[in-house]
Amino acid sequence: MTRRLLVQKILVIGLGLVLLATSGASFYSSRRLKEPVVLGPGVTTVKRLSDYFEPLRGTANDCNVYVLEGKEPGATIFVLGGSHPEEPAGRLTAWVLAENAVVETGRLIVVLSANRSATTMTRLGGAYPPDFSIPTAWGSRTFRMGDRWTNPLDQWPDPEVYFHYPSGQQLAYVDIRNVNRTWPGRANGTLTEQTTYAFMEAIKREKVDILVDLHEAELQYPVINTIVTHQRGQDMATMVSMTLTDMEGFKIGTEFSPRTLHGLSHREVGDHSNAISLLFEAPEPFLDATRGITGREQLLSGKDEFVVKAGKHGLLFAPIDEKGWPIAVRVGRHTSALLQVAETWGEDHPDKRIVITGVPKYKEMIERGVGHYLRDPAKAPAGRVVYE
């Protein structure tokens, strides 16, 4: 090897090492970003998902399960945030519940990172930010952006075709890593299937009456601004959407879960347990195929001129203008819908109610912002901070 060639190799390999070190450090720190949760006054116990299914212990998806037990017995609502972590209103709503909700009657169970593994990366090739921050009066709180699917570092490779268990229905190969395509799960399946299996065990063991799965959707997706419900929840969901549209000043529809579309929470949880399963969808322009820049500001403001233009061409299923869909609006829709579900259930089951206080409704959330409902970990009492 000539001296010139040797220098050339050293320079190029040096370039490679710089690329490897900088990108590797970024991915490493993003995957391990600590997200504090200040336990609100209503949180009585913090369990782990592996408490319901031991094989999950120590895996990426062994998430925290926050239990808010009321003084009086009543109904149990299980709220799942982070089934799709790249839909941040779902996780943030669950965060607001864990840090603020107080249950007077009944019980609320909250999960912030239903697919914790999926919170540790962003969509490949999507140029999404690794994290985002919510401003508060005392500073800011930073959250992992996350992805729709389990991190391939935790479950890999994918099959050519994904056969859903137990229906045998063929789904997109990548959805074998999608928590909302693997319900009801299986004990000896993949990590994602084991995760939904564990949730099913929790739902059965805790005798859950209603499961609420929090999501966001692109505006080019027809299932948006709606409550998707299992057939056993149709009356309640319809009443909730009518009441919200009439009383709270935002439109929300009702969709009935297709009986032959498998793997989704609104179908399988209702079919395989006694719980009524509901799925809330809020709008997230950040996910649209016609979006522009995928920066932190766009994620939180919900503004995108290209999606607005798509709307002018009649390509969207939800309205959008220059004001966008700010995160407080999206989270407020979820909190109001959840509170209305609890109220409507209570009207139908006066002997088994659930009464939740301390959670802001839609207008309050828009007025004060999400950050108002995030507590300062530095000022939390000893032992009242846990990490996601």
Based on the shown chain and the rule CB under 8 A, indicate whether residue 27 belongs to the binding site for other proteins.
yes
| Shortest reach from residue 31's CB to other proteins, in Å | 8
The structure tokens 């959670």 sit at: 359
| CB of 140 closer than 8 Å to CB of 74 | no
| Candidate residues 72, 73, 137, 153; the one interacting with other proteins per rule CB under 8 A | 153
The structure tokens listed for 157 are 């490779």
DSSP-assigned beta bridge partners for residue 63: none
Name the residue nearer to other proteins (CB basis): 21 or 137: 21
What is the Cα–Cα distance from 261 to 226, expressed in whole angstroms?
A: 18
| Candidate residues 49, 108, 121, 299; the one interacting with other proteins per rule CB under 8 A | 121
What is the Cα–Cα distance from 272 to 171, expressed in whole angstroms?
A: 20
In 3D, which of 72, 70, 79, 64 has the Cα closest to residue 107? 70
Based on the shown chain and the rule CB under 8 A, indicate whether residue 137 belongs to the binding site for other proteins.
no
The structure tokens 């948006």 sit at: 224
| CB of 116 closer than 8 Å to CB of 82 | yes
| Candidate residues 58, 125, 157, 350; the one interacting with other proteins per rule CB under 8 A | 157
What is the Cα–Cα distance from 41 to 66, expressed in whole angstroms?
A: 12
Name the residue nearer to other proteins (CB basis): 5 or 382: 5
Which residues from 1-20 bind other proteins, rule CB under 8 A?
5, 8-9, 12-13, 15-16, 19-20
| Shortest reach from residue 136's CB to other proteins, in Å | 31
Local structure of residue 197 (DSSP, 8 states): H
- Count, residues near other proteins per rule CB under 8 A: 17
| Shortest reach from residue 110's CB to other proteins, in Å | 30
Based on the shown chain and the rule CB under 8 A, indicate whether residue 289 belongs to the binding site for other proteins.
no
In 3D, which of 114, 37, 28 has the Cα closest to residue 374? 37
| Shortest reach from residue 76's CB to other proteins, in Å | 35
Using CB under 8 A as the criterion, which residues of the chain lie in contact with other proteins when the complex forms? 5, 8-9, 12-13, 15-16, 19-20, 23-24, 27-28, 121, 153, 156-157
